[in-house]
Amino acid sequence: MKRGFYTIMAAQFFSSLADNALLVIAIALLIDLHAPAYLTPMLKFVFVLFYVILAPFVGAFADSMAKGRVMFISNTIKITGCGLLFLASHQYFALAAYAVVGLGAAAYSPAKYGILTELLPPEKLVIANGWIEGLTVLSIILGTVLGGVLITPTVAAVLLELDFPYINTGVDTIPEASIIFIAAFYCIAAIFNLYIPSTGVVHRILNKNPIFLVQEFRHCFKLLWTDKLGQISLAVTTLFWGAGATLQFIVLKWAETALDYPLNKAAQLQGIVAVGIAVGAVMAARFVSLRQSVKVIPLGIAMGVVVMAMTIAHQLWIAIILLILIGGLAGFFVVPMNALLQHRGHILMGAGNSIAVQNFNENLSILVMLTMYALLISFDVHIYSVIIMFGSFVAITMTLIRRWHMLNQSKEDSLHLIGEHKKL
C-alpha cells in the first residue's frame, strides 16, 4: 500500500472514533434532559439527514478539490457541532447540534472513500476496503466503549474535577465533560487530514448552479441503478447500512430488557457486534476477490436469521456469541459489495459522485428504518417483536436481491447465446 493510505486510515480512525463515542454521549445528554424514549433513535436520524439532503452537492464538492482538504473542512464542521452540543440545554437543541455533526460527516464521506479509487488500482480496492472497514469497525468498538466509559459516574467525576488555572470551563455535567474530551479526537483527525497527499487527479471546477448539480446527481443515480453489477451492490449496501444503524438501537433496548443493562454497559455490547464486523471484514479482504464479490450475498440472508435468535438469549455468553456472529456475517458480505460498488461507480461517473449516490441511498434507508423503529417504540411494541420483524425483513430482502442478481445473470447468458447463434 502507498504511504498516503496509512495517513487516510489514521484520519478516518480518529474521526470515526469520535463519531461513535459522541452518539453514546448524546444519548446520555437526552436522558439528562428527560427526553422521551422515541427521541433516542432520532439522534441517528438527524445525523444522517444531511447525507440525503446534500447528496447532489457533496459529491461534486469532494471532486472539486484535494480530498484531504475536504476532510479537514468536514472535521472542522464536526468540531463546531460539538461546541453547539456542549451548549445544548433543551432536547431539540441537542438534536439540532448533533445534526451539525452529521453535516460534517456528510461532507467527509465522499472524500474518505473517493480518495481510495484515486490512490489505488482496482485490484487493491477489496484489500483497501477491508482495512478501512476493519479500522472503522475498530473505531466503532473503541468509540462505543469510550462513550460508555466517559458517562460512567466514577470516570466522569475525575473529568469534572480537572481544573485549569485562571480558566473557568463552565463544565459541570457528565455529558459536557465528555463532549470536551471527544472534541479533542476530532482535532487530531483534522491534523492528519492536513498530511494526506495529493493524488495527482485533475479536479473538476465546482459548478455553483444547484439545478445543474441536481440534474447531474439524478443522471449518476440512474446510471448506477441501471448498471447490472452496480444495482446489486448498491441494493446490498443500502440494506446493510439501514439495518446496521437500526441494530445499534435495537441492541441498546434489547440489553436493557434481556440483560437489565444500563446505557454504559449496553453501549459496550454494540462494540461486540463491531468486533464481529472487523473479523468478517478482514476475512473478506483475505479470501474474496473483486470478481467473486457477488457470491457473498447468501451471508446477508443468514445474518437476518441469526438476528432473530437474539430473542432466546438471556445469558451474557450466549449474547456475545450471537452478536459476534451477526457482526461477522455482516462484515464478510458488505466489504466485497462496497468494493464492487466503488469500482463500478468510479468507472461510470467518478469517485465523488458515485460515493454521493451511495450515501444518498444508504442514508435514506437509515432514515426510513429508524423512523419505523421509533414509531414501533413510541407505540410500546415489545423489543422481541421488533427483533423478529427486523430479522425477517433483512432475510427476505436479501433473498429478493439474490433472485434479482440470478435473473440478471440469466438474461446476460441468454443474450450471449443469442449473439453466438447469430455468428453461426
Fold of domain 3-195+210-423: Growth Hormone; Chain: A; (1.20.1250)
Tens digit of each residue's pLDDT (9 = 90 or more) over 178-225:
888 898 999 999 898 888 877 666 556 555 667 777 787 888 888 888
φ/ψ of residue 205, rounded to 5: -70, 130
- Which positions ≥6 away from 5 have C-beta within 8 Å? 116, 119, 120, 128, 131
- Residue 364 burial (C-beta neighbours within 10 Å; 0-12, 13-18, 19+): middle
- Which positions ≥6 away from 157 have C-beta within 8 Å? none
Q: What is the mean pLDDT of residues 280-290?
A: 75
Residue where the block lists cell 445544548:
88
Tens digit of each residue's pLDDT (9 = 90 or more) over 70-103:
888 989 999 999 989 888 888 888 899 999 998 8
Retrieve residue 2's grid coordinates. Answer: 502507498
In angstroms and rounded to an integer, the radius of gyration of the C-alpha atoms of the chain is 22
Retrieve residue 65's grid coordinates. Answer: 478539490
Q: Is the pLDDT of residue 384 over 80?
A: yes
Q: Where are the alpha helices (DSSP H) in 151-227?
A: 153-161, 174-193, 210-226
Taking CA atoms, 55 is separated from 106, 261, 411, in Å, by: 8, 38, 32
- Which positions ≥6 away from 44 have C-beta within 8 Å? 23, 245, 248, 249, 366, 370
Q: Where are the alpha helices (DSSP H) in 298-382?
A: 298-308, 316-348, 351-378
Spatial separation of the C-alpha atoms in residues 188 and 3, rounded to whole Å: 19
Domain ranges of the chain: 3-195+210-423
Tens digit of each residue's pLDDT (9 = 90 or more) over 102-159:
888 888 877 776 677 777 776 676 677 667 766 776 787 788 788 888 888 777 677 6
Residue where the block lists cell 430482502:
397
Average per-residue pLDDT in the chain? 80
Percent of the chain whose pLDDT exceeds 70? 83
Amino acid 386 reads V
For 280, how many CA atoms within 13 A lie in the half-sphere containing its CB?
Answer: 26
Instruction: State the pTM of this model.
Output: 0.72
Amino acid 37 reads A
DSSP lists the bridge partners of residue 167 as: 164
- Which positions ≥6 away from 356 have C-beta within 8 Å? 55, 56, 58, 59, 60, 62, 110, 217, 220
